A and B are shown apart, each in its own frame.
Chain A
Amino acid sequence: MAEREIDPVTGIETTGHEWDGIKELNTPLPKWWLYSFYATIVWAIGYFVLYPAWPSLSGYTEGMLGYSSRAELAATMDQVKQSRVGWLTKFEEKSVDEIAEDQELLQYAMAGGRAIFGENCAPCHGAGGAGAPGYPVLADDDWIWGGTPEEIYTSVQYGIRSAHEDTREAMMLAFGADEILEAPQIKSVANHVMSLAGAGQSTAEGALIFEEQCSACHGEDGKGLREMGGPNLTDGIWLYGEGVEALTAQIAAPKHGVMPAWVDRIDDVSIKQVSIYVHSLGGGEK
């Protein structure tokens, strides 16, 4: 420390530190403050010893207590699982329809199903079941395979055109590619289908072809046949795009979306919850 120097203005000693002519007055801190500071250093050393602290090239010092935030998380997750047990047995015992009737279980399934949906279904069907071209909207009331909780449950379990033996299966003939119909015929039947949904002009030829080739699966009125997996063509909701061109393409060489069977991928309780959630998105049927 520098020589003892008294600041003439205040009469207080300076520390001897000087910056650009400004001198620091010595206003001593209390000793207990200093000792508190030392105590924090001692505390830190204790912490180093007890808890993970120093990184090394291949890992880190683990500390004597063996604490790890990963293990703590695992323990918390175990607790969460324990707290769910009561709920899960209820879900195991009840059918999807029964769950949908029970206020409490319904709320639980809507919350749980939402998370399951986000992890497994949203990549194709979009968040909230918004859908995408080729991937059906789940928030509307147009159901190809049925919209009751039980029917949704079946669809989720076994999938659509999946590898599972109980899969829902429907194939549309490739009317153009397999040369069943001529191009003009396809065009006129496409126009007829458009007219069913309230747009475009129908022709007698188109109506006749529809009756011969399409009504077996889509119904005579075009409202679809769920048992055949034939979509409703009158509601203006199109899975593979809107307009005559998209329709023509679909009739000539149909695309067929595939949904996997979830029964082998996630547990039954999760499938039940996600079915309830999809049902609750808004378009569910009784």
Chain B
Amino acid sequence: MNESSAPAGRPQPLFASHEWVYSRKVKGTFRTLKWTLLWLLLGFYYVAPWFRWERGEGAPDQAFLIDMASRRAYFLWIEIWPQEVYYLVGLLIIGAIGLFFVTALAGRVWCGFFCPQTVWTDLFLWAETLIEGDRNARMRIDRAPLSLDKAFRKVAKHGVWLFISAATGGAWILYFGDAYEVLPEVFTGRASPTVYFLIGLFTTTTYLLAGWAREQVCIYMCPWPRFQAAMFDEDSLIVTYEAWRGEPRGKAKTGQSFEGRGDCVDCTLCHQVCPTGVDIRKGQQLACIGCALCIDACAGVMDRVGLPRGLITYDSIANQIARQKGEPSTLRPVRPRTIAYVAILALVVAVMTFSMATRSRVEINVLKDRAPLFVRLTDGSIRNSYTYKVLNMERQAKTFELSIDGIENAQLRVIGFEDEWTDLAKLPVKPDAVGSFRVLVRADRARLDGKSSDLTLVLEDKSNGAVHEYDAAFSGPAR
């Protein structure tokens, strides 16, 4: 990218025109792997909203659903309330560390194989190749004056692109509402303006990013290439050109021996198949997304000229240097950096899994009244009040029993539910709802420890016997 193509003597301009990358079709191991991943990933993206998952009465039955209006997210058997958003944070941490680990191990695997930008660009390129032909044909069409054939192919291409984009944007909104209801609504014009706006937005961005921007996203917009260098070390496996073996390069002539020269036949196929327009023979560079298509291209050429494959291959810098000197292979996938990443990853996964498996479907929030901190009653006793909230995340109505512990003879009342002083109050909470109660607690002044005494609010779930305790403070006058 930095190599200037400006004519000598004239200063290079500060802004560079976009040079369109015409990447060539290629066949090989990694291309097959990329196609497989593409169909799996896209298949999941388009099909997942249609899966159902029975959750009982009153709950949506979509397997993957983010319900903004009622503030719930559903993933198969897991239901997330906004209060539990830390699970999402945990997922993001796992994603980030997983990314660091894979990058330290085998370079930009995410960029080259899994990133949506790469996957959709591949899909768009597939359509482009189908309609306009391979690299040379496409270059010819773009150079040619406008003709009926050219116009037809261009219109067809952009039509297919827009269709894919609309399907992308259309599928996105299915994750935010019942797929079987939303889709007919969209086609009959009954969906909300927000839905149409979002479809339009994602259609436009997909069309622009995968159709027009392509490698510009990776080179100029994405932050990941900027700090990936910190994840690499000399032992990371990266897509690389074995210069020690390939140089000096030169065209191969039939019958000529490879004695005294490098194995690279300078066919530039590695450069031609690159989706970001990189020449890998110049070494590791920012624009290389590690998609490994140049490995496939070079393997085919090496087969044809009868040389061993692997002139361009996944290799580490350290191993290359070793092989150049004729020393034994030094591949070190297990090293302090990768061990550290795996350890952190395992720890986070373990913590998240444990907390997910043992999480309670009832949560308690208590807010003690601070104005006034306490009130003296006519019989001389001291009263505190609390706003007591019970989050019932289950799909059944529940009746809880609230009692208090920690202060002898203390009693409680619940405004609107329990009008007399009592030891035990029944709190009914609707399914999938938050019950808010104003709880008053009265205690004899003689039983208090002065300004602050320990009080435990004990909530028992009568449906399963589970007990939820909350340690509250009980204020009183100083001794």
Chain A contacts to B: CB under 8 angstroms = 1-4, 10, 12-13, 15, 25-34, 100, 103, 106-107, 110, 126-131, 137, 139-142, 198, 232, 235-237, 280-284, 286
27 A-B pairs (CB sep. < 8 Å)? A13-B12, A27-B1, A28-B12, A28-B13, A29-B15, A30-B16, A30-B17, A31-B16, A32-B213, A34-B15, A110-B415, A128-B369, A128-B372, A130-B371, A137-B372, A139-B375, A140-B375, A140-B376, A140-B378, A142-B378, A235-B378, A236-B376, A280-B415, A281-B385, A282-B385, A282-B440, A283-B377
Tell whether, in the assembled complex, residue B375 and residue A27 are in contact, meaning their CB atoms are under 8 Å apart.
no
Query: Is B383 interfacial (CB 8 A cutoff)?
Result: yes
* Bound CA span A281–B415, Å: 9
Q: What residue of chain A has the Cβ atom nearest to residue B1's Cβ?
A: A27
Closest beta carbon of chain A to B15's beta carbon, Å: 5
B residues within 8 A CB of A2?
A: 11
B residues within 8 A CB of A282?
A: 375, 383, 385, 415, 440
* Bound CA span A126–B372, Å: 8
A residues within 8 A CB of B4?
A: 12-13, 26
Tell whether, in the assembled complex, residue B14 and residue A26 are in contact, meaning their CB atoms are under 8 Å apart.
yes
Chain B contacts to A: CB under 8 angstroms = 1-2, 4, 6, 9-18, 213, 216, 220, 369-372, 375-380, 383, 385, 415-416, 419, 436, 438, 440
Determine chain A's interface SS by DSSP, over half rule. loop
8 shortest interchain CB distances as A-B pairs: A130-B372, A235-B378, A128-B371, A28-B16, A127-B371, A140-B375, A139-B375, A4-B11
Closest beta carbon of chain A to B283's beta carbon, Å: 13
* Bound CA span A244–B216, Å: 86
Tell whether, in the assembled complex, residue A232 and residue B378 are in contact, meaning their CB atoms are under 8 Å apart.
yes
* Bound CA span A32–B212, Å: 11
Tell whether, in the assembled complex, residue A139 and residue B11 are in contact, meaning their CB atoms are under 8 Å apart.
no
* Bound CA span A182–B9, Å: 115
Closest beta carbon of chain B to A94's beta carbon, Å: 15
Closest beta carbon of chain A to B47's beta carbon, Å: 35
Q: What residue of chain B has the Cβ atom nearest to residue A131's Cβ?
A: B372
A residues within 8 A CB of B16?
A: 28-31
Tell whether, in the assembled complex, residue B372 and residue A103 are in contact, meaning their CB atoms are under 8 Å apart.
no
Closest beta carbon of chain B to A111's beta carbon, Å: 9
Given contacts A139-B385, A280-B415, A282-B383, contact A33 B371 (CB under 8 A): no
Q: Which of B213, B370, B385, B416 gathers the greatest number of chain A CB atoms within 10 Å?
A: B416
A residues within 8 A CB of B11?
A: 1-4, 13
Tell whether, in the assembled complex, residue A110 and residue B438 are in contact, meaning their CB atoms are under 8 Å apart.
yes
Tell whether, in the assembled complex, residue A28 and residue B376 are in contact, meaning their CB atoms are under 8 Å apart.
no
* Bound CA span A280–B415, Å: 6
Tell whether, in the assembled complex, residue B10 and residue A4 are in contact, meaning their CB atoms are under 8 Å apart.
yes
Given contacts A4-B10, A126-B372, A139-B385, contact A31 B416 (CB under 8 A): no
A residues within 8 A CB of B377?
A: 140-142, 283
Partner of B375, one of A25, A110, A137: A137
Tell whether, in the assembled complex, residue B438 and residue A280 are in contact, meaning their CB atoms are under 8 Å apart.
yes
A residues within 8 A CB of B380?
A: 198, 235-236
* Bound CA span A26–B4, Å: 9
Q: Which of B10, B12, B18, B371 gathers the greatest number of chain A CB atoms within 10 Å?
A: B12
* Bound CA span A68–B452, Å: 51
Tell whether, in the assembled complex, residue B372 and residue A139 are in contact, meaning their CB atoms are under 8 Å apart.
yes
Tell whether, in the assembled complex, residue B436 and residue A107 are in contact, meaning their CB atoms are under 8 Å apart.
yes
Q: What residue of chain B has the Cβ atom nearest to residue A4's Cβ?
A: B11
